[in-house]
Amino acid sequence: MATSAANDIDVLEQAKRALAPDYLPSEDEEYMNAAHQDYFRVLLLEWKHSILASSSATLQSLQDGPMREPDLNDRASSETDWGIELRTRDRQRKLIAKIDAALRRLDAGEYGFCEVTGDPIGLKRLVARPVATMTVEAQEAHERREKVSRDD
């Protein structure tokens, strides 16, 4: 699971590098101004594009045919690798849904504001996790409630 999260971060970093490096949202500007919205829209679209491109590569590999490993250990290793790859793609499929939801929030003018409190989420958090829907405090409270209800 840590590998999947690391892969998601790598794809996000690739998307950030694809953006023009001369602009980064600043706390000195008005929160969620047009420049911020444009930055996050392009970032989200680049992120989605990167995920779809890597998915296409996986699909192409699957279509090229099954690998016939003569050794049982090699075959088991290959099948494990494919299982991990497919779980990663499933996580990314779910991430695309979150990216699409973030793009809809951008269009509605709700992006960057906590869905629980209505407070600004913060630029640093959004740059780190562009699909965030809650402030750090609201997210922590949500996770504590979730943990308590799981323990019951």
CB 102 within 8 A of CB 111: yes
Q: Which residue has the higher pLDDT, 76 or 132?
A: 132
User: Which pLDDT value is given to residue 97?
Assistant: 94
Q: What domains sit in the chain, N to C, each tagged with a CATH number?
A: 2-151 (1.20.120.910)
CA distance to 9, 30, 44, 70, per residue, from 118 (Å): 27, 16, 21, 59
Per-residue pLDDT tens digits for 95-110? 999 999 999 999 999 9
Please tell me the predicted confidence (pLDDT) of residue 2: 44
Q: Which two tokens stand for residue 81?
A: 């690798």
Whole-angstrom CA distances from 133 to 19, 70, 93, 125, 138 are 22, 49, 18, 10, 9
pTM (two decimals): 0.74
Predicted confidence at residue 1, as pLDDT, reads: 39
- Lookup result for tokens 């490096």: 21
Give tens-digit pLDDT for 19-74. Answer: 656 678 888 899 999 989 999 999 999 889 888 887 767 666 666 655 666 777 77
Q: What pLDDT does residue 110 have?
A: 95
Portion of the chain with pLDDT greater than 70, in percent: 76
Asked if the model's pLDDT at residue 8 lies above 50, the reply is yes
Q: What does the pLDDT average to over 72-92?
A: 79
